[in-house]
Amino acid sequence: MATTTPTLNQTQTVLRTENLNVYYGNFLALKNICLNIPKNKITAFIGPSGCGKSTLLRCYNRLNDLVDSFRCEGKVYYYNQDLYASSIDPVEVRRQIGMVFQKPNPFPKSIYENITFGAKINGYRGDMDELVERSLRQAALWDEVKDKLKQSGLSLSGGQQQRLCIARAVAVQPQVILMDEPCSALDPISTIKIEELLQELKEQYTIVIVTHNMQQASRVSDMTAFFNVEPTGKGGRMGYLVEHDNTEVIFQNPQEKSTQEYVSGRFG
């Protein structure tokens, strides 16, 4: 997939879904999602359990392809490229659109190798030591690990492991970082560190974060998308986008009553 070097201003759209329906088998998990993700901003996905936040996140880097029953209708664009076109290589999509998961999942390799692994696969020809240092600095981890790069990534604390995973994600120089509840397994201090880190990362990357933590969404994100879920009548439950706006609007003056109730903790 060709890299489109963005030349427009800060409000350029990086990811765009148009009338996206997502199914697992016959089950409609997400209905008619139309959503733009702006460049160099943090967009938070919030909503009750099962409304499809993770499903949508995984559509952006084609991770759902690994689920046999997955099928989608409508379009997902990355810049102007149709991400589900037959010419698109999902592996290249995942290089440009990286992901950090709920549970820190470093490879059972050294800290150094965790960073160089993806770069080697991609045939990176630059200086590996420099890449390791730059990536660990970007993830605010360098000072804590610079003297033990040969130690296993698994020897680090949970918060450090998650920052290692962020360093591993940025090492392959993606455009977008998707984060699926990246702090839910972390203590409050590690959580604050990651939140501070996000503010630095958005200078270079576009970030989409799923979070159940309303304070976190309001603290870290520029834009917020609120999703809800409703019964389909056939015993199923369908997720849909209720509204998407500046985070301040969603938290202080949303258009929809259900958004107001959710962000104020009255349901969900």
Ligand X SMILES: Nc1ncnc2c1ncn2[C@@H]1O[C@H](COP(=O)(O)OP(=O)(O)OP(=O)(O)O)[C@@H](O)[C@H]1O
Closest CA to 245 of 35, 28, 9, 6: 35
Stretch of 42-50, 112-120, 137-145, 197-205 contacting ligand X, by CB under 6 A: 42-50
Coil/strand/helix, residue 31: strand
Judged by beta carbon, residue 16 or residue 237, the one nearer ligand X is 237
Binder of ligand X out of 51, 97, 178, 217 (CB under 6 A): 51
The minimum distance between CB 205 and ligand X, in angstroms, equals: 22
Tell me the two tokens of residue 258. Answer: 């259900």
Considering only 45-53, 115-123, 168-176, 215-223, which stretch makes contact with ligand X by CB under 6 A? 45-53
Residue corresponding to tokens 């997400």: 30
Residue selected from 17, 54, 96, 175 as contacting ligand X according to rule CB under 6 A: 54
* Min CB(23)–ligand X separation in Å: 9
**Applying CB under 6 A, does 53 fall inside the site for ligand X?**
yes
Amino acid at 146: K
β strands within the chain, DSSP E: 13-24, 27-38, 42-46, 70-78, 81-82, 97-100, 176-180, 206-210, 223-231, 237-246
Q: Candidates 52-60, 85-93, 114-122, 187-195 — which segment interacts with ligand X by CB under 6 A?
A: 52-60
- Cα 251 to Cα 30, 107, 240, 248, distances in angstroms: 23, 38, 19, 5
* Residue 106 CA, distance from chain mean position: 17
Site size toward ligand X, by CB under 6 A: 14
DSSP string, 156-208: S-HHHHHHHHHHHHHHT--SEEEEESTTTTS-HHHHHHHHHHHHHHTTT-EEE
Q: How far is the CB of 204 from ligand X (least distance, A)?
A: 26
Considering only residues 210 through 229, tell me which ones interact with ligand X, judged by CB under 6 A.
none
Residues 237, 240, 243, 249: which binds ligand X (CB under 6 A)? 237
67 lies in the binding site for ligand X (CB under 6 A): yes
Number of neighbouring beta carbons within 10 Å of residue 149:
17
Rounded CA-CA distance 65/83 in Å is: 12
Q: Is 10 in the site for ligand X (CB under 6 A)?
A: no
256 touches 243 (CB < 8 A): yes
Report in angstroms how near the CB of residue 225 gets to ligand X at its nearest.
11
Is residue 69 a contact residue for ligand X (CB under 6 A)?
yes
Q: How far apart are CA 137 and CA 141, in angstroms?
A: 6
Of the listed pieces 46-54, 111-119, 218-226, 260-268, which binds ligand X according to CB under 6 A? 46-54
Site for ligand X in 18-37 (CB under 6 A): 24, 29
Q: Which of 52, 104, 174, 254 binds ligand X (CB under 6 A)?
A: 52
Residue 181 Cβ vs ligand X, minimum distance, rounded to whole Å: 7
In the complex, which residues of this chain contact ligand X (CB under 6 A)?
A: 24, 29, 47, 49-55, 67, 69, 237, 239
